[in-house]
Amino acid sequence: MNPILVIVHQPTSDPGLVGEKLRSYGYSLDIRCPALGDELPPTMAQHAGAVIFGGPMSANDDETLPFIRTELDWIAIALASGQPYLGICLGAQLLARVLGAEVSPHAAGISEIGYGELRPTAAGAPYIPTPMSVYQWHSEGFTLPAGAVELATGETFPHQAFVYGETVFGLQFHPEMTTALIADWTTRGADQLQRLGAQPREQHFQQHHQHGAHVDQWLDHFLTNWLKGQGWPVPQPTEGAALLAKRSL
């Protein structure tokens, strides 16, 4: 069984619950950090899929952070392979950029840091059956790429999840969270808890205790279907949108 390629952006990064579940399915994780000089594979032939996680940098930092440019270029290779791709937070924003969308801060300077509710769209119901409270940690969002199908929306940042084709997904939220990760993030990123829209540290733990089991159950179902490349009806964008997206790659 080929490993899952996992791309992270800091030496302290941890794939959390996503990594735990992938390992429980029998996959090993090939963890690489381009920010620290790790190279990315020239093809996906030796990997069963790819997950790009989040980070404090912006998907627009390609002119100042060379590894962001490297990842943007590499994502196009990953998509062309047809292998499953999952972008989480920054990974979703990078994907959105590759597909021609824009990534930018909230117009009112609001961040989403802590738990918040997302709502499935009609097309998203097979993927996200019910409204769900999920963990967020971001100050930028993306527009919906041409050719993508929106799966879930939120109040502050409207675009929370999308699918492109059958197995390429962008999630603005963080399904990988564990109590240990929340403790780590809210300690190392304590200054971010002062941002407009951020929840107090203790609320992060309270909300995780309340909603974490639901996200865990959803994530197990999502990842198994994502890796199979089946199990969901494939929503089809309009022909014009699909052509625009193809040109953007």
Residue 140 host element (H or E): strand 140-142
Say whether pLDDT at 234 is over 60.
Answer: no
Residues 6+ apart with CB under 8 A from 164: 79, 95, 99, 145, 147, 148, 149, 170, 245
Distance, first Cα to last Cα, the chain: 29
The more confidently predicted of residues 13 and 238 is 13
Mean pLDDT, the chain, whole residue set: 93
Q: In Å, what is the CA distance from 170 to each residue of 1, 81, 148, 209?
A: 24, 17, 10, 25
What pLDDT does residue 224 have? 94
| Homologous superfamily, domain 4-248 | Class I glutamine amidotransferase (GATase) domain (3.40.50.880)
Q: What is the pLDDT of residues 190-211, one digit of tens each?
A: 999 999 999 999 999 999 999 9
pTM: 0.92
Distances in Å between the Cα of 99 and the Cα atoms of 170, 246, 248 are 11, 8, 6
Domain ranges of the chain: 4-248
152 pairs with which residues across the strands? Answer: 120, 161
